[in-house]
Structure 1
């Protein structure tokens, strides 16, 4: 019988059974590097892009070490958003199903927007694994309902987003009540300077695992650039959306206000559009996610929170209505499509002001295809860089012409009409340069 590649990590049989049921055969790069360290009890900081198998890189070894016979909290996994916490919880439940029937594992998810008193009433028996958002976990700990003094493992997922959302202080409040020596696992796309004091407080010489992607984005994503060219942006977006006719598309904006504006405009034009951003109430957000999963919408307008905190299945297209100011978010956004071996399209509407950002994305390894939508048909157009290089060459000819002309005039006396003659001379030199260039071609 073919050996599963995860067996060499010496995981418990029921964890190996879970791995097989999940369809995992070979560990991803981050799993290869994180799994052994977590099993050894090493604290670490992991950096990797979305879709690399990060969640299971810590879930599998943590759950392998849990003792289901002890009614005490042993590990806590914190995530910045309710959606991400729920996503991790669902994956943990899939693994927990394979624990021995006589000794089942108690996994609980604690997030905001739920009845806190009902949660407290159910905490008479403590779960072995806690997953949730920092604010709710902190509240339960401070109320004395959740007893974390026995917990020796803490995961801080999407730590840079936690910092942006102001949740690191909440994590600090319950982390300080955990066991004296804890194993901390921090996962973050970037490690901002303001995050370092928190890391230093709980981690001594942590292992750093930085998985550089072989390329910036998934292999099966086609990155498309569509120029705005003084057209109405909402109308162009509508035309792109209709032309693509996606299974499910996420349209990204940078602000909640813009998300609402775009969603309202597309709904007015007759499209089935949902929206996800921070201003939705917990109830509305839960309802929206249910409708999205039921495929009630063909398009979702979202802010970057969705790119980092929500896993939506079946996304065939990403459309960037606006490029993010932090270009790492471009990778997170486009990582929502082309998952699980499928292909996807990431289209970006751009203007001249986006030129610098596009150049930086190309340096990060993103390869763009230049297209335009004209009269309802896709047309391949000249590459941006080709046009830019042509302008640069013309500028060079112009400079050379002026230089030559000014040299010729250097010692000449200034006579009436010299400006017109000088201009004609510049034009003649430019024409000669172009003729020579064309001949050489």
Structure 2
């Protein structure tokens, strides 16, 4: 069997078999830095973007630590969404499938939208690893069906989203019922101020790992800007989608209300549209995700819930119906496309009030191409702030010219006119130089 760079961790044979089958050759940066700390049971905060390999950064060392002979819960992994919990669970199963029958490691996933009583009945035998949404795990603990005081490993995945979605109290309750000497591992794309009291409560001098993205967004994404110019944004979105004709597009809105408005309007125009937001019932959400996976929709309208924790394959285009309030989410949104080496397009419809936000995105390395829709077709419109930039350049030229022309010590009649003429002469020369340098 061909050697990989995972050999250095001295994982159990079944884990190495799984690594070979998964085709992993060398650890990603987050894996390289997290795995040794988790094996040494040092509580750690790992800050990294989606798609950096963080799931296996904690799955592999957890499986290494599990004692199959102890029929009790030894690790708990929480995720903010059912879809992410299910993904984590499936990745664990890919590894545990290689366990020897005599040393089987059991994992179970618990989340809303499933029969609670049936779950409780099945918990007569406790699993080694618990994966699930904080609300459902906490419910099962309160029902005294799930026993977690034996577990000393807690992973909180997508912690900032857990906070945003109001689940941090549930995670707090879960942590308080676990082993006194708790090793906590927190993964998050951002570390909001409101998350810090929770981290401080359970983590004493944690190690902190920040994996800076190699590129602020995938290299193969083309970022397009489309000015709304007081036009109807839904009509503009519809025309843009028709012109782009995507394999699959996600249209992002900031609110559930806007998501429903956009989805309803596009449906009325005969488009195959799905929607993902927090107001869907568990049954609706499950059905929607199945339809999305079965490629029943060409268009999905979603809130930021879909930017994180939900893996939708085949997204060729992302449309920002509006810019997110938190600009970090711009990167998460556009990260839904251009995955696995493919290219993608991210189109943002913006208003004049978005100018500051766009400038901030440009400062962190997003390179926008400015386009407009004219007669149903995209045209390149060059610089976004032509007039403003020209005025700024003229002001700078005037200031430079004034700096060259000094006020005489003894003022003679008509000096102001002569000074102005001199300034204009220098300004003209400077403008000619600027044109020549372009």
TM-score (norm 2): 0.91
Q: Residue 218 of structure 1 aligns with which residue?
A: 218
Residues 431 and 321 of structure 1, relative CA distance in 2, 3 Å threshold? farther
Q: Residue 96 of structure 2 aligns with which residue?
A: 96
Q: Residue 34 of structure 2 aligns with which residue?
A: 34
Deviation at 1:31, TM superposition (A): 0.8
Q: Residue 366 of structure 1 aligns with which residue?
A: 366
Indicate yes or no: 2:431 matched with 1:437: yes
Q: Residue 320 of structure 2 aligns with which residue?
A: 320
Q: Residue 310 of structure 2 aligns with which residue?
A: 310
Q: Residue 23 of structure 2 aligns with which residue?
A: 23
Distance 2:388 2:52 in 1: 35
Distance 1:213 1:96 in 2: 31
Residues 427 and 393 of structure 1, relative CA distance in 2, 3 Å threshold? farther
- 8 Å contact from structure 1 (residues 397, 430) kept in 2: no
Residues 40 and 259 of structure 1, relative CA distance in 2, 3 Å threshold? same
Measured on the aligned residues, the alpha-carbon RMSD in Å equals 2.8
Deviation at 1:314, TM superposition (A): 1.2
Q: Deviations over 1:54-81 (max 9, x none)?
A: 1111111111211222210000000111
Deviation at 1:84, TM superposition (A): 1.3
Distance 2:236 2:429 in 1: 39
Distance 1:8 1:32 in 2: 10
Distance 1:141 1:258 in 2: 37
Q: Residue 171 of structure 2 aligns with which residue?
A: 171
Distance 1:35 1:129 in 2: 18
Which aligned pairs between 1:33-112 and structure 2 lie closer than 5 A? 33-112=33-112
Deviation at 1:375, TM superposition (A): 2.9
Distance 1:338 1:70 in 2: 44
- 8 Å contact from structure 2 (residues 401, 426) kept in 1: no
Q: Residue 124 of structure 1 aligns with which residue?
A: 124
SS at match of 1:34: helix
Distance 1:399 1:230 in 2: 36
Indicate yes or no: 2:183 matched with 1:183: yes
- 8 Å contact from structure 1 (residues 401, 426) kept in 2: no
- 8 Å contact from structure 1 (residues 76, 154) kept in 2: yes
Q: Residue 345 of structure 1 aligns with which residue?
A: 345
Q: Residue 145 of structure 2 aligns with which residue?
A: 145
Distance 2:159 2:219 in 1: 26
SS at match of 2:186: strand
Q: Residue 244 of structure 1 aligns with which residue?
A: 244
Distance 2:394 2:425 in 1: 11
Distance 1:50 1:336 in 2: 9
- 8 Å contact from structure 1 (residues 71, 127) kept in 2: yes
Indicate yes or no: 2:301 matched with 1:301: yes
Moved more, 185-194 or 377-386: 377-386
Distance 2:421 2:140 in 1: 78
Unaligned runs of 5+ in 2: none
Distance 2:285 2:264 in 1: 17
Q: Residue 7 of structure 2 aligns with which residue?
A: 7
Q: Deviations over 1:173-220 (max 9, x none)?
A: 121111110110001122222222221221111110100112211222
SS at match of 1:371: strand
Deviation at 1:292, TM superposition (A): 0.5
Q: Residue 271 of structure 1 aligns with which residue?
A: 271
Residues 372 and 23 of structure 1, relative CA distance in 2, 3 Å threshold? farther
TM-score (norm 1): 0.91
Distance 1:393 1:427 in 2: 19
- 8 Å contact from structure 1 (residues 250, 299) kept in 2: yes
Q: Deviations over 1:141-160 (max 9, x none)?
A: 11110010110100011111
